[in-house]
Chain A
């Protein structure tokens, strides 16, 4: 169990550019979640997958955001035409749903700064 990993850890981009983040969950975990955390706030739910199926999307996830989990393992979160308001920490978590220890384990996050 190597934990949830996220890459890159930091991303600085200019407004209008596209960015993509990657999350590698704990192996065997069937659920994968994305959250966004802005400074001084608690994380807010964006979307989650069970295996490769995207089961729920938050209204926070505008049309510029897209997430995929093509083979039910790693996931990517892409933001198109970034805006300054997208600056935040993007957190990924994974869990093994319906297990006795169904707990979401979080990665270290990707900090996005949009200039």
Chain B
């Protein structure tokens, strides 16, 4: 079975400081991993995805994530937070291309001025 655990339900950072959102996964097979972002009253938007190519994945808006098989982790980072980054972030796993997505519980990111 596949699952993801987002280690923090809420993260608060100051504008201009680094962001780290943590995600651990469990999968019996080689997974595909994603990060999606959900702004209030807006649909889920794909930030980035890992599909067994480069382990360091760059996404939109300056976000990136590193796949670490030995640690079963896929943490999301950004060097410098912006106020517009405040949103809910979901770590997601799937094992089948085009198959169902399995979401983590979400991490709410707050950015203080």
- Count A-B contacts at CB 8 Å: 51
Instruction: Tell me the A26-44 residues at the B interface (CB within 8 Å).
Output: 31, 33, 35, 40-44
Residue B44 lies at the interface, judged by CB distance under 8 Å to chain A = yes
Min CB–CB distance A48 → chain B (angstroms):
6
Residue B90 lies at the interface, judged by CB distance under 8 Å to chain A = yes
Contact A103 B49 (CB under 8 A): yes
Instruction: Tell me the A61-102 residues at the B interface (CB within 8 Å).
Output: 91, 93, 95, 97-98, 102
Q: Which of B11-19, B63-71, B100-108 contacts A (4 or more CB under 8 A)?
A: B100-108
Give Cα A11–Cα B41 distance, bound, in whole angstroms: 15
Give Cα A49–Cα B99 distance, bound, in whole angstroms: 10
Residue B113 lies at the interface, judged by CB distance under 8 Å to chain A = no
Contact B103 A42 (CB under 8 A): yes
Min CB–CB distance B91 → chain A (angstroms):
9
Min CB–CB distance A39 → chain B (angstroms):
11
Residues of B within 8 A of A4 (CB): 43
- Of the four ranges (under 10, 10 to 19, 20 to 34, 35 or more), the interface on chain B belongs to 10 to 19
Contact A43 B44 (CB under 8 A): yes
Instruction: Tell me the B85-113 residues at the A interface (CB within 8 Å).
Output: 90, 97-106
Contact B43 A98 (CB under 8 A): no
Residues of B within 8 A of A56 (CB): 99-100
Min CB–CB distance A32 → chain B (angstroms):
11
Min CB–CB distance A44 → chain B (angstroms):
7
Residues of A within 8 A of B97 (CB): 97-98, 102
Partner of B98, one of A91, A98, A108: A98
Instruction: Using known A-B contacts A4-B43, A91-B44, A108-B43, determine if residue A33 contacts B100 with beta carbons closer than 8 Å.
Output: yes
Counting from the closest, the 6 A-B pairs by CB-CB distance are A42-B103, A97-B98, A106-B44, A45-B100, A108-B43, A106-B43
B residues adjacent to A (C-beta < 8 A): 36, 41-46, 49, 90, 97-106
